[in-house]
Amino acid sequence: MSMEVCGSVVTNSKYELFRLKCIYCTIESELKDWELFIVHVRTAHFCDEEDFGPIETKHDAHGQEMNSGTGTSDPAIAYGPDDFFEVIENINTDDQWLQADGDEVQYLDDGTTWSEPTADFCEYMSEAPTGTKANEMVDSSQNEIPLNGEDGECSDFYMSEDDLLPQKRVGRPRKRTRPGQVFKFKVSFIRSNPRVLHLIHAYKEHPCLWDPSDEHYKDEPAQNLAYESIINRMDIKANVLLTVEELKKTIEQLHVQYTLALESKQKGKLVGLAARYFAKCEYLSVAPGITPKETEEDDDLTVIKLNFKEENLVTSSFIETYANYPGLYNPELPQFGSVEERASAYKKMAKEFQPVVKANETDVYIAVNKLRRWLYDAMRRLKSKELIQKCSKQEVQYLRMCSFLPPKGSESTVLYCDYCEKRFHGDYNLRVHIVKAHLVGDLPYLCNLCPRRFDRQVDMDRHKLRTHFERKLRCQYCEKSFAVDTDLKVHTLIHTGERPHVCDICGKTFRLKLLLDHHVNGVHLNIRPYSCNMCSKTFRKKFELANHIKGHLNIRDKKCEYCDATFYDHSSLSRHRRIHRS
């Protein structure tokens, strides 16, 4: 019996009332109206799928049936125990029942109760013909399900329960446009996910992105329009909000999964759900192949370079050193939940590891996270059968060395704030929260080349590139060079004259989105959040306040290179330089 998970069952904090909520939009319904709710999902969101014909049945060594080739196989087929699969979607769930902000998870208990079904749902159901029964609507909807004006049949794919669980959102939270919207999802052929079908269907409609024989192939304007069309399709039909960069990475994942499936098919091992996804992607046979990465590439900024593919002193020594600090991985020890004890352990571990690699506590923390990510991924690959690269002999040896680590997903690995009892995954996330919310301690990410600290690793890495490394990216229009690719792109806009960000209110254009935000907040909304504590003046930007305070303190740190004139801020210095140039 096949099942289709099309919504979430939500309840209040006291488990008194229950409702159905669509995983794709804001439609809600009472449990008794579940049949009408299914009609809504199948007609409004479900992706159609061609009929692949009968299933060729095979049997494995134990006499169990296996699905081979294409066909309407059971979508529940997966490769390996579900315990080793990661939850692959970041679902934003900060609605009236559960709030999640960044890495924080906070349950609400405000006594909120539900009202009657939403007006949109009632209006949608009122369009049904008079006298039509719910079960008749369901039966008829299975025959004709339009998708963007096309006719087709509904697929048997369904969302797994894991995909509906509230997940940790890594990094700074983005603004949600509607409940349940997904900001990121991972393409996989070994887990049933209707959103992957929507992506496959939308990508197929734009051959300029994948077909070398298309007249607009590698035509940047045409490709930008195609990306925008796919983003809109995923937003409307699958409730997925992607940026262009995220969409490109997701498409690359699709090509990698197709390549892996092709290798399995050539070996005669492509079966079940993966075969169905592969059949849907048959059009990619003409696309340039993307080879899956054999090893995880080390970042040039990583001090402790772990390599699990071959035996090496750094990896072996690091695992042995990590095993000597059970307070970092054993939740039964009292020091496991102490932020101070954990920070001290990272410092001691860095000092002990210095004969091998000179590193600080932040480098150790990053290496520990990389080790744990590899460990749980290797365990998943070790137990899986298809579409996942197998573990090498050296990886198996390192897995044995890491046997002291607890299994993934243990609830006891959650750390709690001592000041507000909020919980976090990762002690650096907790330390950032303590600094920002309670003004205690220092930011956790410490540069290993200077004393500066940061709240995110990406900010620390960008600082290293800009400050401590050679600038290798040279501008094609002038002699300036940059260390970060985004800096070069922003600088190039000065030469090309492009100002892509337009104010919707006055039509003024800007090179940077940040400048547009400052313009809207300061000019149109008159938002001036930065105020001087020495006078009554307020400012739109933080650096404007800093320069203003320099005026109070008579700090003139901007000096002209042509004369002895000094100034508070850079803009005043720039105006002064015009005197020498004229």
3-state secondary structure of 261: helix
Residue that finishes a domain, picked among 467, 486, 507: 467
Count of structural domains, the chain: 3
Are 214 and 337 in a shared domain? no
Element (H or E) spanning 566, and its range? strand 566-567
pLDDT category, 45, cuts 50, 70, 90?
low
* Residues 353, 359 contacting (CB under 8 angstroms): yes
The larger pLDDT score, comparing residue 314 to residue 138, is at 314
Are 145 and 34 in a shared domain? yes
* Tens digits of residue pLDDT in 54-91: 334 344 444 444 443 333 333 322 323 333 233 223 33
**Is 547 within a domain?**
yes
Q: Which residue range forms the structural domain that includes residue 22?
A: 7-286
Residue that finishes a domain, picked among 447, 467, 487: 467
Closest to 362 (Cα-Cα) out of 374, 348, 372, 347: 347
Are 74 and 212 in a shared domain? yes
pLDDT at 44 over 90: no
**Is 292 within a domain?**
no
pLDDT at 454: 93
Are 492 and 463 in a shared domain? no
Q: What angle do CA 238, 165, 245 make, to 5 degrees?
A: 45
**Is 487 within a domain?**
yes
* Tens digits of residue pLDDT in 547-561: 899 989 989 888 898
Are 375 and 488 in a shared domain? no
**Is 352 within a domain?**
yes
pLDDT at 452 over 80: yes
In DSSP terms, which residues pair with 65 in a beta bridge?
Answer: 59
pLDDT at 539 over 60: yes
Residue that finishes a domain, picked among 448, 467, 486: 467
Which CATH number belongs to the domain containing residue 525 in this structure?
Answer: 3.30.160.60
Are 70 and 198 in a shared domain? yes
**Is 579 within a domain?**
no
Between the alpha carbon of residue 185 and those of residues 104, 163, 401, the distances in Å are: 20, 10, 32
Are 111 and 161 in a shared domain? yes
The larger pLDDT score, comparing residue 292 to residue 386, is at 386
pLDDT at 288: 81
Mean of the per-residue pLDDT values of the chain: 75
pLDDT at 150 over 70: no
> How far is 457 from 519, CA to CA, in rounded Å?
29
Q: DSSP letter for 100, please.
A: E
> How far is 277 from 280, CA to CA, in rounded Å?
5
Are 256 and 317 in a shared domain? no
How many residues are listed for the chain in this entry? Answer: 582
The larger pLDDT score, comparing residue 449 to residue 190, is at 449
pLDDT at 110 over 70: no
Are 226 and 355 in a shared domain? no
Closest to 364 (Cα-Cα) out of 354, 374, 373, 355: 354
pTM: 0.58
**Is 204 within a domain?**
yes
Report the percent of the chain where pLDDT is more than 90. 26
pLDDT at 242 over 70: yes
**Is 522 within a domain?**
yes
> How far is 351 from 31, CA to CA, in rounded Å?
59
* For the chain, the helix, strand and coil percentages under 3-state DSSP, each to the nearest 5: 40, 10, 45
* Residues 424, 433 contacting (CB under 8 angstroms): yes
Are 43 and 168 in a shared domain? yes
Are 337 and 225 in a shared domain? no
201 alpha carbon, distance to own chain's centre? 22
The larger pLDDT score, comparing residue 109 to residue 220, is at 220
* Tens digits of residue pLDDT in 376-421: 888 888 877 667 777 888 999 999 999 999 877 655 568 889 898 8
Q: What are phi and psi of 42, to 5 degrees?
A: -70, -35
Between the alpha carbon of residue 274 and those of residues 211, 277, 378, the distances in Å are: 23, 5, 20
pLDDT at 270: 86
Max mean pLDDT range (14-18, 437-441, 566-570) = 437-441
Q: What are phi and psi of 422, to 5 degrees?
A: -70, 150
pLDDT at 204 over 60: yes
* Residues 447, 464 contacting (CB under 8 angstroms): yes
The larger pLDDT score, comparing residue 302 to residue 362, is at 362
Contacts within 8 Å (CB) and 24+ apart, 138-145:
138/35, 138/38, 138/39, 138/42, 141/39, 141/42, 141/43, 142/42, 145/42, 145/43, 145/46, 145/48
pLDDT at 168 over 60: no
Are 88 and 218 in a shared domain? yes
* Tens digits of residue pLDDT in 559-572: 898 888 898 888 88
**Is 217 within a domain?**
yes
